[in-house]
Structure 1
Amino acid sequence: MTRRAVPVTTGSSAPDAPETPAGPAAATARSPQTLLWTALTIVYVVWGSTYLAIRIVVETMPPFLSAALRFVTAGLLLVGIVAWRFGPDALRVDRRRLASAVLVGLLLLVGGNGLVVLAETRIPSGLAALLVASVPLWVIVLRALFGDRPRTATFAGVLLGFAGLVVLTLPGSSGTVQFAGVVAVLAAALLWSVGSFLSSRLPMPANPFTASAYEMIAGGLGDLGIGLFRGEHLNPGAVSVHSWLALAYLVVFGSLVAFSAFAWLLQKAPLSLVATYAYVNPVVAVALGWLILSEPVTWSIAVGGAVVVAGVFVVVSTESATKRAPVPKDEGPLTTRADHSPDRT
């Protein structure tokens, strides 16, 4: 479903407009800006902090079973919210759209998020976030493979971003991390990109919250199956209080609050502004990992991360400018799904 973004005003009056006194009218005029920046701050901080929360969860919980618990819980809560807010009919979808939502959910939340959770048992949360930032770059590659012709500046941003990934993945350059974890995150970013790419081309439920609810339930059940296949066991008594609190944070804030704020932003703000989360989240994640978990910030993480973020900035800014033109009915903007990261639902 395509959403039409509304331009954001700067809050300043026109050059020849008379000044208005402060009061209720001025407060009312400022309220849309306040709501916009509140929602944007939520997306910046909460989605950036989910990598830290995942790292805390997997300290005492098995990766895939914890992901299953998170997404099944969040999905069922979202089903209830959709039924309460839009009515039970909003949950009714035909088999074709349900199958599409299930496929996308498996790609995003099993192949994408599940591998990130697994990887964070081996690598720092900040490094995981920087590697996940490559999602918009992979999406451009997929678009090019399927006949789209992105602008030259977009390709330049992709090459720049992948150069940063090379720096991040140089053996031994990111400190004492297991290379298998790095590979797992790169695979997660690719699978998430495939799911994002397909979600804009498959018939999906008309209500985006309904689609997300079914995606989360399907992905959570997929994570459950893989966790059981791997022989994971969840012993509630062995789980620390910190891990339980981090999981609750992921369910409520990461999967419900931040996603709702993001969906609202897509309707109320320019895509060029909304898409800035794609290069703010990794910075937040690295800072929180260093501050709270004392994760090291090596030269390659600093340099490679900066190059990746710069490449994503070029891609997002170029694509946002391109998407200001009208888009076909069944094609959403790049940032509707394609810029989601593996822990973003």
Structure 2
Amino acid sequence: MAVDTIPPLLMAGSRFLIAGVALLAIVGPRHARGASRPTGRQLRSAVIVAALLLVGGNGLLSVGETSVDSGLAALIVATVPVWMVLFNAAVTRTPVTVTMMVALGLGTAGVAVLVGGPGARVDAGGASVVLIGSLCWAAGSVYARGAPLPPHPLVATSIEMIAGGLLLIVAGAVTGEFGRLDLAGISQASIAGFLWLVVAGSMIAFTAYGYANATLPNDAMVTYAYVNPVVAVVLGGLLGNETLSSNVLLGGAIIISAVVLIVGGRAASRRTARPSERPSSPVSSSRVTQGGPPKE
């Protein structure tokens, strides 16, 4: 809805810049001063994360959604966990398992069905842009897990959003979006969508993602990809009058199967690698059950 009447890069850049400045104004006076002031190395890492996640990932998603439905775009973005596992394997120089290769093949096939399967009426260029954005998001997520970032997660997030917002606005200027910006022609729906993205999508959701990515095990964190497509497809049908064609249903089912396979395969490999420990008491057993998987 936001990109219906607002150029996509300027929309995304303004969204993150406003959210980042507002968040830093709230947390900065307490957590980004004195000994807690971000170092040059931490600022540089935050800019790299912003370039990959917000410019490459979210910026390209915003561009792609000018020609593809939000539900379909979310299904393509659901391939991110597969790419994350693949990138992580390359960075850590761990072998690519058969399960991982099968999941990667399934994810690729699912995207192909979305774009060119039965009943497909999808802009291939827009879908390709969203897929490239997904690769950038996955690369940025893997990089952020080990990068030297400001220790307070809200400070790190706010700096990333400010940097990403400025880079996106520059990209919008370079691509001529200021010339296509018609302030008088911005619809109320686009304004509502923009405000939602500033508060819920940026200040809340992006902050939550950054915190989860930094603190949770990789195979636990990426399970968000089960939920995003369902929410986006349902809301797209309810609020955006988007249709559910057979290729969306079939391709989406294949992509989600790939994500389930890769996450389930990693969980199984972790259980195999670690010998099972019998709890010493019912109390310790309940803590294991309630606490979820051990952190890596």
Q: Same fold (TM over 0.5)?
A: yes
Name the residue aligned to 2:191: 244
CA distance in structure 1 between the aligned counterparts of 2:185 and 2:27, rounded to whole angstroms? 35
Name the residue aligned to 2:227: 280
Distance 1:90 1:248, change over 3 A: farther
Question: Once the 2 structures are TM-superposed, how far is the Cα of residue 216 of structure 1 from its aligned partner?
Answer: 0.9
In structure 1, what residue type is equivalent to 2:109?
A
Matched, 1:202 2:147: yes
Which of 189, 203, 228 is the matching residue for 1:256?
203
Which of 209, 213, 231 is the matching residue for 2:158?
213
Contact persistence 2:86–2:96 (CA under 8 A): no
Name the residue aligned to 2:83: 138
Question: Once the 2 structures are TM-superposed, how far is the Cα of residue 121 of structure 1 from its aligned partner?
Answer: 0.8
| TM-score normalised by structure 2 residue count | 0.81
Question: How many corresponding residue pairs?
Answer: 271
Which of 55, 64, 77 is the matching residue for 1:110?
55
In structure 2, what residue type is equivalent to 1:109?
L
Name the residue aligned to 1:162: 108
Name the residue aligned to 1:153: 99
| 1:56-103 alpha-carbon deviations (Å, 9 max, x no partner) | 011111111111110001111121232256463476111112111101
Name the residue aligned to 1:26: none
CA distance in structure 2 between the aligned counterparts of 1:268 and 1:108, rounded to whole angstroms? 18
Question: Once the 2 structures are TM-superposed, how far is the Cα of residue 254 of structure 1 from its aligned partner?
Answer: 1.0
Map of 1:1-345 to 2, 5 A cutoff? 56-83=1-28, 86=31, 88-89=33-34, 92-146=37-91, 147-170=93-116, 173-175=119-121, 177-233=122-178, 234-262=181-209, 275-320=222-267
SS for the counterpart of 1:148 is: coil
In structure 2, what residue type is equivalent to 1:157?
A
CA distance in structure 1 between the aligned counterparts of 2:84 and 2:30, rounded to whole angstroms? 33
Distance 1:250 1:273, change over 3 A: same
Q: Which has the higher helix share?
A: 2
Contact persistence 1:64–1:114 (CA under 8 A): yes
Contact persistence 2:31–2:155 (CA under 8 A): no
- Gap regions ≥5 residues in structure 2: 275-294
Farther off after superposition, 77-86 or 263-272:
263-272
Distance 1:128 1:89, change over 3 A: farther
Question: Once the 2 structures are TM-superposed, how far is the Cα of residue 151 of structure 1 from its aligned partner?
Answer: 4.6
Contact persistence 1:171–1:179 (CA under 8 A): no
| 1:84-135 alpha-carbon deviations (Å, 9 max, x no partner) | 5646347611111211110110111111111110111111111111111111
Question: Once the 2 structures are TM-superposed, how far is the Cα of residue 283 of structure 1 from its aligned partner?
Answer: 1.1
| 1:126-176 alpha-carbon deviations (Å, 9 max, x no partner) | 11111111111112222333312355434433332222122112278421x
Contact persistence 2:80–2:135 (CA under 8 A): yes
Contact persistence 1:91–1:210 (CA under 8 A): no
CA distance in structure 2 between the aligned counterparts of 1:261 and 1:150, rounded to whole angstroms? 29
CA distance in structure 2 between the aligned counterparts of 1:247 and 1:94, rounded to whole angstroms? 32
Identity %: 40
- Gap regions ≥5 residues in structure 1: 1-55, 327-335, 337-345
Contact persistence 2:153–2:207 (CA under 8 A): no
Contact persistence 1:82–1:91 (CA under 8 A): no
Distance 1:82 1:194, change over 3 A: same
SS for the counterpart of 2:4 is: coil
CA RMSD of aligned residues (A): 2.8
Contact persistence 2:145–2:213 (CA under 8 A): no
Contact persistence 1:140–1:150 (CA under 8 A): no
In structure 2, what residue type is equivalent to 1:159?
G
Contact persistence 2:32–2:155 (CA under 8 A): no
Question: Once the 2 structures are TM-superposed, how far is the Cα of residue 218 of structure 1 from its aligned partner?
Answer: 1.0
SS for the counterpart of 2:260 is: helix
